[in-house]
Amino acid sequence: MRIPFKHLLPAIVLLFFAVMSAACGALKQEIRTEDASEKEITGVYSLILYGGTYGNQLEAVAILSKEDSPYTIVPYAPEFDFSIIRHLPAKEALAGAFSFISRHPDFSRAQIARIVDSGGGVIGYEIRPLYWPFTYGAPDVLYTYYWRKGDKVYVDMWLLRKEER
């Protein structure tokens, strides 16, 4: 039995779109960041100071990991490149985060982002430095990436390519 070409082509196109939509769903980022404000940060946190080993180092991010979250945020870096201060109330954690990221002489302001899982649950907050745009061409020179493995959320950070030069 031969299938007419006029029926075969739509079936192939439909199969292609089904495979592509499934692939896009699989690529959906499980852990993501969203804009947030300082006012919504309440509770008790572990303050993760990632990077910023030297006062003029651009790679510096502070992460507030919720203590009552089902996930633990872990920097994907050697132990000498981060420190963790546990059991801080939100106000103290924020003060420590702002102090840490504002060390660089070209610091302009802070950007706060909510770290959420695929279900929309808040895992913590990311406080990152924004720099004067005339110095580096753009205020945001960092890329941070989050991924989950079991009950741990790993974070990696690096400079954008144009700033590395």
**116 in Cβ contact with 69 (< 8 Å):** no
Tokens linked to 102: 């504002």
Q: CB neighbours of 74 closer than 8 A, spacing ≥ 6? A: 152, 153, 154, 155
The closest of 34, 30, 74 to 50, measured between CA atoms, is 74
Encode the chain (165 residues) as per-residue pLDDT tens digits: 565 656 555 555 555 555 454 444 444 569 999 999 999 999 999 999 999 887 678 999 999 999 999 999 999 999 999 999 999 999 999 999 999 999 999 999 999 999 999 999 999 999 999 999 998 889 999 999 999 999 999 999 999 876 555
